[in-house]
Amino acid sequence: MNDALAAVGYAIAEGRLHFRTRIALEAHQDRLAHGHLRWVAAHSPAVAARFRAAGLGLSQWRSLPPTSKAEMMADFDRLNTAGLHLSDVLALARSAEDQRDFSGQLRGAAQSAFAEQAVTVGLSSGTSGTQGAFVVGVQERQRWAGVVLRHLLPPPFFRSLLRPVRVAFLLRAEGGLYRSVQSRRISFTFLDLLRPVPELAAALTAADPTLLVGPPSVLRALLDAGAEAKPARVVCVAEVMEEADRAALNAGFGPVVQVYQATEGLLALPCPHGSLHLNEAHVHFDLEALGDGRWRPIITDLRRWVQPMIRHRLDDILQLDATPCSCGSVARRVARIEGRQDDALLFAAASGQPLTMWPDFLRAALNRVPGLQEYRAEQTASDTLWLLLDPDLPSTRTAAAAEVKAALARAGADAGGVRLCFGPLLPAPPGTKRRRVLRRTFSQSSPVPEVIP
Ligand SMILES: [Zn+2]
């Protein structure tokens, strides 16, 4: 079937997946899980081995020990059900990124469940640690496009479809995923993040999108560079969105919504009432309590067949909003996505015990520094915190030091024992995710930034 038609079919079906009771939502998930796990265990040797190792039956899947991105990549060849080899996937994905041509696809191996079927390949943006590869089949891609269209086009959905839909994507790598929907009425334009900003800004203005999708830092840079667009929706992806970005984009381009999408899947979508809901109609979320109202998700994607995600632990930290949404959906609401697990900093408490400081606290402290436009805080040792500032002036250094010391003390850390180092914030390499708070692995060999006089 034509890709665009199939996607619209999925978008229409999505309208029926609006659950008003948790019981109905969980019954729907159980139904999907029952069939999905049986199929996956029969076709993915890696998943079957995990159940065997844990001594669990398929019906006990919620007790399965979680797996990580590193483990997923290590066992990629036995995990995917299309008979793909990681080396081939990486070779194609990397050459696509080098050539800026994302039309290449792999074919499922002859003996696999996806024999001779096209499989789209991509890489996660790999901010740190393990770079993830993802592979999706034709049907998964069409469903992705349908779900996205349903949730992102301004309601009412059918009226939105009557007008031409022009989607502009500003992404580091298109991964072929987004080109799947291409027809007279629906067009997707991919704007390559590795192009210079003024050129991108001009391309964005020319594309005149009705839906504008990209990381908030990039959208913000293009707005500042003079890009003009009046999309019905600005969709922020791939980064934690700060309030200042939301306000600027809202004023410059139009109404802003956030989508929580990762290599691991489409994890949360906005509703017409302005909430970000977990995508629970398709993904089952188990949540590990981290304390202080923070949770780490373990996902089981009930729609991923080529690259199964079963009890897969994410690096992100979520804060949830427990109050019901006025849209009537019972899918849980995300109040904040806090970036990656390693963004939490580790200091010693005044008592000497280890103390976790959430990135939120540090961002709040630095947001209070007058005249500070951008910053990065990097913890390089248990007692050393680098503050890279823009602009890096005596006044911003003094104010940042005072705010950060106060925040450390409030969090219960031994603020006097933390050494603050300063330097100018240099522009991030194009196409990399912006991270404002990060912690480098502490070891003798870990790179320490040069001391800037
Ligand atoms: Zn809602």
Per residue in 183-241, pLDDT (tens digit) is 777 887 878 776 777 888 999 999 999 999 888 878 888 898 899 999 999 998 867 77
The Å distance, Cα 21 to ligand 1 centre, comes to 13
Neighbours of 112 (CB within 10 A): 18
Q: How confident is the model at residue 395 (pLDDT cuts 50, 70, 90)?
A: very high
Max CA-CA distance within the chain?
A: 66
Neighbours of 148 (CB within 10 A): 25
Domain definitions of the chain by residue range? 1-340, 344-439
Q: How confident is the model at residue 179 (pLDDT cuts 50, 70, 90)?
A: low
Between 208 and 162, name the one with better pLDDT: 208
The Å distance, Cα 280 to ligand 1 centre, comes to 13
Which string of DSSP letters, residue by residue, matches 2-38?
-HHHHHHHHHHHHTT---SSHHHHHHHHHHHHHHHHH
The Å distance, Cα 116 to ligand 1 centre, comes to 40
Neighbours of 3 (CB within 10 A): 17
The Å distance, Cα 6 to ligand 1 centre, comes to 26
The Å distance, Cα 113 to ligand 1 centre, comes to 37
Q: Is residue 80 helix, strand or coil?
A: coil
Which string of DSSP letters, residue by residue, matches 329-347?
--SPEEEEEEEEGGGSEEE
| Interaxial angle between packed helices 216-224 and 197-207, expressed in degrees from 0 to 180 and rounded to the nearest 10 | 90
Between 262 and 415, name the one with better pLDDT: 415
The Å distance, Cα 331 to ligand 1 centre, comes to 8
Share the mean pLDDT of the chain: 85
Percent of the chain past pLDDT 70, that is, above it, reads 88
Q: Which residues contact 305 (CB under 8 A, 6 or more apart)?
A: 36, 39, 40, 81, 113, 114, 137, 139, 140
| DSSP 8-state class, residue 324 | P
The Å distance, Cα 237 to ligand 1 centre, comes to 18
The Å distance, Cα 262 to ligand 1 centre, comes to 21
Per residue in 66-76, pLDDT (tens digit) is 999 889 999 99
Please tell me the pTM assigned to this model. Answer: 0.79
Beta strands in 178-238 (DSSP E): 186-192, 211-214, 233-236
The Å distance, Cα 19 to ligand 1 centre, comes to 11
pLDDT at position 221 is 81
- Quickly tell me which residue has 């632990």 as its tokens: 313
pLDDT at position 445 is 37
Between 1 and 17, name the one with better pLDDT: 17
Architecture of domain 344-439: 2-Layer Sandwich (3.30)
The Å distance, Cα 341 to ligand 1 centre, comes to 27
Per residue in 20-51, pLDDT (tens digit) is 999 999 999 999 999 999 999 999 999 999 99
Per residue in 87-144, pLDDT (tens digit) is 999 888 878 767 767 667 889 999 999 999 988 887 765 444 456 788 888 899 889 8
Distances (CA, A) of 70 to 401, 417, 432, 442: 36, 34, 20, 19
The Å distance, Cα 274 to ligand 1 centre, comes to 6
Give buried/exposed letters for 47-78 (b at 16+ CB in 10 A, else e): beebbeeeeeebeebeebebbebebbeebbee
The one-letter code for the residue type at 333 is R
Which residues face 291 on adjacent strands? Answer: 294
The fourth-level CATH superfamily of domain 1-340 is ANL, N-terminal domain (3.40.50.12780)
Q: Is residue 249 helix, strand or coil?
A: helix
The Å distance, Cα 263 to ligand 1 centre, comes to 24
Distances (CA, A) of 10 to 15, 405, 424: 9, 52, 49
Question: Which candidate, 251, 231, 119, places its Cα nearest to that of 170?
Answer: 231
pLDDT at position 142 is 84
